Structure 1
Amino acid sequence: MGYEYYWHIAIAMDKEQLKQEIEAEAGVFILTTNDLTLSPKELLENYKSQQRVERGFKFLKSPEFLSDAMFLKNPKRIEAMLMIMTLSLLVYAALEYKIRKELKSQNKTFPNQLGKPIQNPTTRWVFECFFSIHILLMENQKMVVGLDQNHRLILDLLGERFWEFYRFKNIGKVTAE
């Protein structure tokens, strides 16, 4: 013969107290600045925008950019290379800004790597999409092949100046697939 014991526990939870306990246990993220004119929200936005800069430098370090293929000893050449890389990053960021701005203002989308329509593609992804375009040379003709709807969208967003690279004058017929 054994004994049986039963416990009956009633738990009442105060949501406000639970919220305070969770917030007390949460980590603290400290941002400091010497610019006292920034509000906390502006400071956080500035901090988060650094991610774009870091992503740009990551692109410059990537194998596609071929920066690791160069070995420079002369300080003047190193400075020149840094200037070219910084200028490239500036162009890269400006192009990304323009594409995203135009996609949003015209309420259009560009497919991401999974085919999902987005309004904020990276310049790197747009560049990769343009790798499928080729120039076919035949006798006195140059033809652009591989130009699809998505390429046309980006070129339309960027404007006539960018289209000029995909049109040929005084060479014969120009066609685009």
Structure 2
Amino acid sequence: MMLGNFFGQMGDFHLTKYTGNPLGPFAQRGNAAEYAASEQWGIIGDHPYRLVVYRSRTPDPRHARTLDRDIEQQRRGLEQAADSVREQEFACEADAQQALEYWLETTPRPWHHVSGEVVAETRQARPGRPRKDPAPGEIRTIWRVRITIGAVDAARRQQELERRNTFVLITTVSAEVLPPAALLAEYKGQVHVERHFHFLKDPLFVDALYVKKPERVEALGYVLLLACLLYSLVERRVRAAQVAIPSPSRRVLKNPTGHEIARHLESLLVTRDATGKRTVALPSILHATLVAILDALQMPITVFTEPPLREPPRG
């Protein structure tokens, strides 16, 4: 299976007109994005691939804000480029017109309506107060380029916004095996795995910082991999049981992450009385949440107070 997300330069292939079929939302929250999909086929490197074009039916407002920042930045660049031409004086109208045409031809302006014209200005050749009846040669004419940066091209902006809300998944798996909805769910599911694996790729965790021999580095990697598996199982079971966990921001997390669950368990202390008996000490406000977490994990509270028995060494 080959699964990837790309848009833009994808080689030589043919895409038919986009006609998306609605797929509905892909999350449980109320403002979850809804998608529409269109099946395509393309040839990349002489090999046929299935291309599924997805477009969000609920545009991400972050894309609009980023696009508007890009447009505003380009407008400032256009104004600076236009000022360099506006400040010039030309002795004849033909030179000014040539400069205007060259600027319009060489300056990119994908978002704004830009117009320009050549205007004539009269100047007094001699300093001082102008005379009522100036002599010949005391008044001369110069030519300037006037460039106006107009409004944003709304059609171009909307087209770019739709492009930024569109992406393509490429795969060799047929639609019978993975329909568009299942393919998108498979792709979006990758982030949950990668989110837990990020620390395994960090040299700060798995490197010669703690162990120097290659085989020990490998063993440490397996230990962390098992810890990641346990971390994921804890998160999955607590979420399946719909255990809500209070957070420091005074919100209640209905889908807590493993990090939040571990943070909550860190508040637990094990104390020992004079007889050596161990008991769990926890603020009363957190006790109900702890019981719910342990019930979801099918673990008794004695896992914190009764160490497991160790088997004697063999032989």
Structures share a fold, TM > 0.5?
A: yes
> Letter of the aligned partner of 2:274 in structure 1?
E
Assess, with a 3 A threshold, how the Cα gap between structure 1 residues 113 and 52 changes in structure 2: closer, same or farther: farther
The answer as to whether partners of 2:271 and 2:279 remain within 8 angstroms in 1 is yes
Report how far residue 68 of structure 1 moved.
Answer: 6.5
Partner of 1:157: 296
| 1:53 equivalenced with 2:193 (yes/no) | yes
Cα deviations by residue, 1:101-152 (Å, 9 ceiling, x for unpaired):
011xxxx532234232332101111111111111112221322111522112
C-alpha change, 1:125 and 1:60, in structure 2 (3 Å) is farther
* Residues 22-56 of structure 1 deviation map (CA, whole Å, 9 limit, x = unaligned): 46751231111222221121111111111111211
* Structure 1 or 2: more helix by fraction: 1
Q: For the pair shown, which has the larger CA radius of gyration, 1 or 2?
A: 2
- 1:146 is matched by which residue type in structure 2? L
Please list, as runs of the form range in 1=range in 2, the aligned pairs for 1:15-34 lying within 5 A after superposition.
22=158, 25-27=161-163, 28-34=166-172
Q: Is 1:99 the counterpart of 2:238 in the alignment?
A: yes
Q: Which residue type is aligned with residue 267 of structure 2?
A: S
- Runs (5+) with no aligned partner, structure 1: 1-17, 170-177
Residue 280 of structure 2 corresponds to which residue in structure 1? 144
Counterpart of 1:115, as a letter, is R
Normalising by structure 2, we get a TM-score of: 0.40
In structure 2, the CA distance between the partners of 1:94 and 1:41, relative to structure 1 (3 Å rule), is: same
SS for the counterpart of 1:31 is strand
Deviation at 1:167, TM superposition (A): 4.5
**Aligned AA for 1:30?**
V
Which residue among 170, 174, 178 is the counterpart of 1:38? 178
Distance in 2 of aligned mates of 1:168 and 1:86: 26
Q: How far apart in 1 are the matches of 2:206 and 2:291? A: 30
Structure-2 separation of matches of 1:151 and 1:75? 40
Aligned sequence identity (%): 27
3-state SS in 1 of match to 2:278: strand
Greater RCO between the two (CA within 8 Å, min separation 6)? 2
Kindly indicate which of the two structures has a greater share of residues assigned to strand.
2
SS in structure 2 at match of 1:72: coil
Instruction: Return structure 1 stretches of 4+ with deviation > 6 angstroms.
Output: none
CA contact (8 A) 1:61 1:68 kept: no
Question: What CA distance in whole angstroms lies between the structure 2 residues aligned with 1:82 and 1:123?
Answer: 20
TM-score, normalised relative to structure 1 = 0.67
1:94 to 1:153, Cα distance in 2 relative to 1, 3 A: same
Matching residue of 2:268? 133
| 1:70 CA drift (Å) | 3.7
Give the corresponding residue for 1:9. none
Task: Determine the C-alpha separation between the residues in 2 that align with 1:166 and 1:71.
Answer: 28
Residues 26 and 83 (structure 1 numbering): CA distance in 2 closer, same or farther, change over 3 Å? same
Q: Distance in 2 between the 1:119 and 1:153 partners?
A: 13
1:86 corresponds to 2:86 = no
- Is contact 1:135-1:143 (8 Å) kept? yes
- Aligned equivalent of 1:114: 249
Paired residue total = 145
Structure 2, gaps ≥5 residues long: 1-153, 308-315
- Aligned counterparts of 1:34 and 1:77: Cα–Cα separation in 2: 39
